C-alpha cells in the first residue's frame, strides 16, 4: 500500500505528535561535561578557540561543577594544566597535582556529582606527547607504569571513574591491576578505546596546553581511515577490564559508534570533541547556521548512532535547551 493510504506527514503534523513518536530522546543524564583545571586562584581564563569554555582554578571549577550538578548533568571529566612540566610527567601522579586537588574540592562541595578523570600524560610532559620518549620514539611499556600511577593517584583523591586516553597498548590492564591491588576494585574504567589521530583535536590542544613539540600522535592513535580496527581495539580494552568504552571523535565516526554498540554489550560513550564544538561556534558567530538547532541535531545523531553517554562542551547549553 502507498499514497494516499499512507501519509507519513500525519505524524509530523504538530509538535505534540512529533514528540510522541520521536525515536531518539536526549536527557541531561546522557551528558558528561569536560572541564579544564589549572593552577592558581581565581583563574577563569577564556579559551580563544573554544568560546564559552575556560581554564579554571580549583576554586572556580568547584563553582562551575555545582552549577553543572544543579542542571542535572551527572558527571564531569577533568583535564589538568599543571604549573610545571617535565619529561616524566611527574605532576600527573602527584598528590598535590591540580586534578587531584580539584577532585577533592569538588567531592567535598558536590559529593553526588560523578568526577571522571582523564588519564594521560600529554598535558604534563615537557614534549607534549602521551608517553615516555627515548631517541625520539614514544615507548609503550615504560609509559604504562606512569599511567597506572596517575590513575591510582586519581582514585586515592576520590575520582569515581578513571578514563585512560593515551592509546598505549595494555594500559587498561595496567590500570586495572594497580587499582585492584590497592583496594580500588570498584572504580570503573572508561577507556578511550577507539581514539583516532584526528585533526578535530586542535582547539583542545590550546585548552590543555598539550601540543606535541615534535611529530604527531599517529604512531599511537588510530588511522581515521580504519573501521575494522576499532572493533579490535575495543575488544582488547574490554578483555583487559574496561567497563565503558569510548569512540573519539564523534561527529565523523558515527559508523564506529554504531559498530561498537552493535558488537559489544557494554556502555558506549562518544566524545563530541573540541574541533566539532568550535566549528559550530564559529559558523554560528558568522550567522551561517542556527547554533541551537545544529547543536541538538548533532547530539541527537550521536544518541541515534548508539552512544549511551556523550562527552560534550555543549552539555550545559543542551540541557538548558531540553528544558524549554
Supply the residues annotated as catalytic.
195, 248
Cα–chain center distance at 116: 9
The strand pairing partners of 117, in sequence order, are 78, 162
**With contact defined as beta carbons under 8 Å apart, do 120 and 166 qualify?**
yes
For residue 282, list its beta bridge partners. none
| The residue to which cell 552549577 is assigned | 67
Longest dimension (CA), the chain: 72
CA torsion sign for 110, 179, 240, 121 is positive
Q: What share of the chain is helix, strand, coil (3-state, %, to 5)?
A: 45, 20, 40
Strand (E) or helix (H) holding 226: none
Which value, to the nearest 10 degrees, does the dihedral of the CA atoms of residues 284, 286, 288, 291 take? Answer: 10
Cell representation of residue 217: 600522535
Amino acid at each position: 500500500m502507498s499514497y494516499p493510504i499512507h501519509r507519513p506527514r500525519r505524524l509530523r503534523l504538530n509538535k505534540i505528535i512529533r514528540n510522541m513518536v520521536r525515536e531518539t530522546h536526549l536527557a541531561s543524564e546522557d551528558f558528561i561535561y569536560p572541564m579544564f583545571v589549572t593552577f592558581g586562584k581565581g583563574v577563569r581564563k577564556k579559551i580563544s578557540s573554544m568560546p564559552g569554555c575556560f581554564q579554571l582554578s580549583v576554586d572556580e571549577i568547584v563553582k562551575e561543577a555545582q552549577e553543572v550538578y544543579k542542571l542535572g548533568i551527572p558527571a564531569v571529566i577533568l583535564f589538568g594544566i599543571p604549573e610545571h612540566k617535565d619529561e616524566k610527567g611527574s605532576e600527573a601522579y602527584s598528590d598535590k597535582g591540580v586534578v587531584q586537588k580539584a577532585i577533592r574540592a569538588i567531592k567535598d562541595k558536590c559529593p553526588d556529582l560523578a568526577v571522571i578523570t582523564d588519564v594521560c600524560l600529554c598535558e604534563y610532559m615537557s614534549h607534549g606527547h602521551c608517553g615516555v620518549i627515548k631517541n625520539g620514539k614514544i615507548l609503550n611499556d615504560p609509559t604504562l607504569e606512569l599511567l597506572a600511577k596517575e590513575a591510582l593517584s586519581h582514585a586515592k583523591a576520590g575520582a569515581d571513574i578513571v578514563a585512560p586516553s593515551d592509546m598505549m597498548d595494555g594500559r587498561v590492564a595496567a590500570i586495572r591491576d594497580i587499582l585492584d591491588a590497592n583496594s580500588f576494585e570498584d572504580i570503573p574504567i572508561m577507556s578511550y578505546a577507539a581514539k583516532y589521530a584526528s585533526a578535530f583535536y586542535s582547539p583542545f590542544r590550546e585548552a590543555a596546553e598539550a601540543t606535541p613539540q615534535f611529530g604527531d600522535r599517529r604512531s599511537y592513535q588510530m588511522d581515521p581511515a580504519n573501521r575494522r580496527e576499532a572493533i579490535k581495539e575495543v575488544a582488547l580494552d574490554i578483555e583487559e577490564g574496561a567497563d565503558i568504552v569510548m569512540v573519539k571523535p564523534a561527529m565523523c565516526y558515527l559508523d564506529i559508534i554504531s559498530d561498537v554498540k552493535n558488537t559489544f554489550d557494554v556502555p558506549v560513550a562518544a566524545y563530541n570533541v573540541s574541533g566539532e564544538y568550535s566549528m559550530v561556534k564559529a559558523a554560528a558567530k558568522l550567522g551561517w547556521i542556527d547554533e541551537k538547532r545544529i547543536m541538538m541535531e548533532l547530539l541527537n545523531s550521536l544518541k541515534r548512532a548508539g552512544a549511551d553517554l556523550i562527552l560534550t562542551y555543549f552539555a550545559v547549553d543542551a540541557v538548558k535547551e531540553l528544558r524549554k
